[in-house]
Amino acid sequence: MLRGRRRMEGALDAQSLISISLRKIHSSRTQRGGIKLHKNLLVSYVLRNARQLYLSERYAELYRRPPPPHAPYPPPAAPLAGPPELGPLPPGAEEQPPGPMPRGCGLPEPPVLLPPPHDPAPLELPGAPPQPPSPCRDSAPGFYRSGGCAYPALPGHCSGRTTVLDLDTHVVTTVENGYLAPDCCSQCPCCCPPAPGTKRKYYPGPGEEDDEDEDEPAAGGGAAAGVGVAPCPKRARFEELSPEPPPDASNISNLISIFGSGFTGLVSRQQADSEHGQLCSKQALASLGAWTRAIVAF
Amino acid sequence: MEEDIDTRKINSSFLRDHSYATEADIISTVEFNHTGELLATGDKGGRVVIFQREQESKNQPHRRGEYNVYSTFQSHEPEFDYLKSLEIEEKINKIRWLPQQNAAYFLLSTNDKTVKLWKVSERDKRPEGYNLKDEDGRLRDPSMITTLRVPVLRPMDLMVEATPRRVFANAHTYHINSISVNSDYETYMSADDLRINLWNFEITNQSFNIVDIKPANMEELTEVITAAEFHPHHCNTFVYSSSKGTIRLCDMRASALCDRHSKFFEEPEDPSNRSFFSEIISSISDVKFSHSGRYIMTRDYLTVKVWDLNMENRPIETYQVHDYLRSKLCSLYENDCIFDKFECVWNGSDSVIMTGSYNNFFRMFDRNTKRDVTLEASRENSKPRAILKPRKVCVGGKRRKDEISVDSLDFSKKILHTAWHPSENIIAVAATNNLYIFQDKVN
């Protein structure tokens, strides 16, 4: 059914649709009259549909490959057969022990993926749940992401935050309740240990982590070596100034956080694909990173 | 079938004609008043132009009731919301007339945020002979006044003036898409993407919120309100349509907040038609009650549907407006045409429905005979007073002589707004910045 749908749509495939849609959202920022909620909602549906198709094809391909030797966690409970109905994460995924390897980090090739949680409310993304330990729910291993669940010792840490690592610029950014913290620093001392052969920078965060132990477990790797800490007074100030966004203004930024948190996974695909010579439009995916960052920055 | 129909239409006037198209001149709404004597248009520049039908005269039978400009005024200006750093467009989204109760005419006009009640009145007499001021309006020195006189009214050239009588502001966070006057003529509602407010015409600093579909967490948003209208006779009943292709009928007697509908109209989706754009093309762009109040008509991207209020599970009639676009949805998504919001209208007797399409085409469907016709509103292809020729779009294969192929359609020429006279066969069609008025052929 999916292949037939692609043919019916003509020349455009899922990836082009995604980049077109993100471009539309981005340009809607500068249109007169402000963000058109209705139009952006419709565009987000297209994004969701295209993303489902794209991810399902990826799953299908990955399914056909032999599993990698060092999968750090069990294979998904829900078998992926046919067009995957992206069901809820199996419960085991939520209880990742805060062990040496945060989820998904450091793997050059993501194993068969846990489907991101998805339910009939298409825009529901667990990007900003109020309870502390859960923000990890939505990450699939390929999404180099840490919502802080690996560090339950920091309770105030993950209230409604999503931290993403942009593979283009290797900057960790944080979206907090829909608002972007200045991305000159991250507050998650998440250390994704670099995959073999992959250089990665990160900026362990100051701010409220000032009191914390600076040698956070560098997740089993020596990743902390040689990276300077960039204290960022701006960020602390930002948090002071914007404790609670006005309820009606937050709608737009929440929409944006949906896109930011939902589609950075596609950015991470670029890494995996290029290593395996996959013919996926690298350009479209590369531009995705810039777009998602732009959107999250909104 | 289309080419057999004798449409008997005369193209009787080309108004607001410009050889260039400035964006401010693009017509954004068209509405006849309750008698059909007046026709109001709003444009992207925030102006309202009202046309009045000429009285029919025996001397010039061929100029039967043509529409001429009656009044022009600037309804809305661009504004800036400093709190959110947002510009508020002055484009007139909707105009709705109030029924006439005295010599003056009243209409509501709205942009994205503010609704205004305008009074349009004629002045053909002027008072003269004031005591305290002279004819130029300058005050006279009281010590110079030696006699008293009574001012008298003298005739003057007819002047039509529009004054804003009420401004209903600051009640909508999102963009207003509809206004609808209640049949009690005391209240009206305004609908934005997530909320519907009920106003009293006399009170501008308060409104009742009667529908609120904003979720507690905006990330859970799945649908928005796209149009709303009061029932033509029952002042407690209204409908609103959603971006998911559903219509809800609400009864204000049931509760103060009408979040729970009394009726829910939805047609199950045809799974074989599923595509990336299914959600977009099922979004309803307009909903209109029939004059009888028995039916509602909805317009989504490709179809017009007529629903019976007594049957919620599917429409009673579905008309394909331009189904040949179904295979072009990708390109229409790229050029944003898929987001165009077409309106639909009933004729006075609810027997014919009309809606617009691309290439300056508009379509009429006769509900009784099941015949339909495609007509074009353009100067190049029809002269004034000529009878409109039915048009046909060729979908594939051989193109006949007068047909136009799908790929040659001009998607920048779209007819989004049309209006039908309440009792006669006169239609107003807005084609970008031009207004076309068509009438039935005389004899």
The pLDDT of residue B380: 76
pLDDT band of residue A61 (cuts 50, 70, 90) is: confident
User: Torsions phi, psi of B15, nearest 5?
Assistant: -110, 160
Using the predicted structure, report yes or no on whether residue A165 has a pLDDT greater than 50.
Answer: no
Residue B56 lies in a domain: yes
Phi, psi of B95 (to 5 degrees): -125, 135
Q: Own/partner pairs for A221-226, CB < 8 Å, 24+ apart?
A: A221/A106, A221/A191, A221/A193, A221/A194, A222/A193, A223/A191, A223/A192, A223/A193, A223/A194, A224/A191
Residues of A within 8 A of B274 (CB-CB) are: 5
Mean pLDDT within A202-225: 39
Mean predicted confidence (pLDDT) in B65-78: 94
In a 13 Å sphere around the CA of A53, the CA atoms on its Cβ side amount to 24
What does the pLDDT read at residue B55?
Answer: 84
Looking at residue B227, which CATH number applies to its domain?
A: 2.130.10.10
- Parallel, antiparallel, or unpaired for β A171-176 and A179-180? antiparallel
Chain B CB within 8 Å of residue A85 CB:
no
ipTM above 0.90, yes or no: no
Residues 6+ apart with CB under 8 A from B144: none
pLDDT classification of A70: cutoffs 50, 70, 90? low
Give yes or no for residue B191 having a pLDDT over 60: yes
Q: Write the single-letter amino acid at B94.
A: K
Measure CB to CB from residue A34 to each of B86, B221, B339 and give the nearest one: B86
The one-character DSSP state at A137 is: G
Query: Is residue B186 situated within a structural domain?
Result: yes
Contact call for A50 and B84, based on CB within 8 A: no
Q: Which residues of A touch B334 (CB under 8 A)?
A: 12, 20
Contact partners, residue B31, CB within 8 Å, separation at least 6: B39, B40, B41, B94, B95, B96, B97, B107, B419
Look at A222 and A22; give whichever has higher pLDDT: A22
Q: Which residues of A touch B220 (CB under 8 A)?
A: 121, 123-124
Confidence of residue B81 (pLDDT cuts 50, 70, 90): confident
User: Which residues 315-334 in chain B show a CB within 8 A of chain A?
Assistant: 327, 329-331, 333-334
Q: Which residues constitute the domain of residue B366? A: 31-119+165-437
Q: Residue B326's pLDDT is what?
A: 94
Note whether residue B299 is domain-resident.
yes
Mean pLDDT of chain A: 49
Nearest to B341 by CA among B240, B223, B243: B243
> Across the interface, which of B87, B275, B329 has its CB nearest the CB of A34?
B87
- DSSP tally for chain A: helices H, then strands E: 6, 3
Residue B7 in domain: no
B320: buried, middle or exposed (CB in 10 Å: 19+, 13-18, 0-12)? Answer: middle
pLDDT at res. B60:
66
Euclidean distance between CA atoms A85 and A2, whole angstroms = 13
> What confidence tens digit (pLDDT) does each residue in A89-108 have?
344 443 434 444 333 333 33
What's the rounded mean pLDDT across residues A24-53? 90
State residue B198's pLDDT score: 97
Chain B residues in contact with A255 by the CB 8 A cut-off are: 218-219, 221
Higher pLDDT pick, A136 / B34: B34
Task: Please report which helix (H) or strand (E) contains residue B88, including its range.
Answer: strand B86-88
Whether residue B415 lies inside any domain: the answer is yes
What is the arithmetic mean of pLDDT over B253-277? 90
Residue B107 covered by a domain: yes
Any domain includes B8: no
Rounded Cα gap, residues A144 and A198, in angstroms? 13
Q: Which of B90, B218, B273, B279 to mutate to test the interface with A (most CBs of A within 10 A)?
A: B218
- Kindly indicate the confidence band of residue B361, based on its pLDDT and cuts at 50, 70 and 90: very high
pLDDT attached to residue B379: 83
* A to B CB pairs, distance under 8 Å: 101
- Between CA A167 and CA A51 the distance in angstroms is 19
Span A245-297, pLDDT tens digits? 333 333 333 444 444 443 333 333 334 444 433 333 444 444 444 444 434 33
Give the number of domains in chain B.
1
pLDDT of residue A31: 84
Any A CB within 8 A of B89 CB: yes
The answer to whether residue B143 sits within a structural domain is no
pLDDT of A242 reads: 37
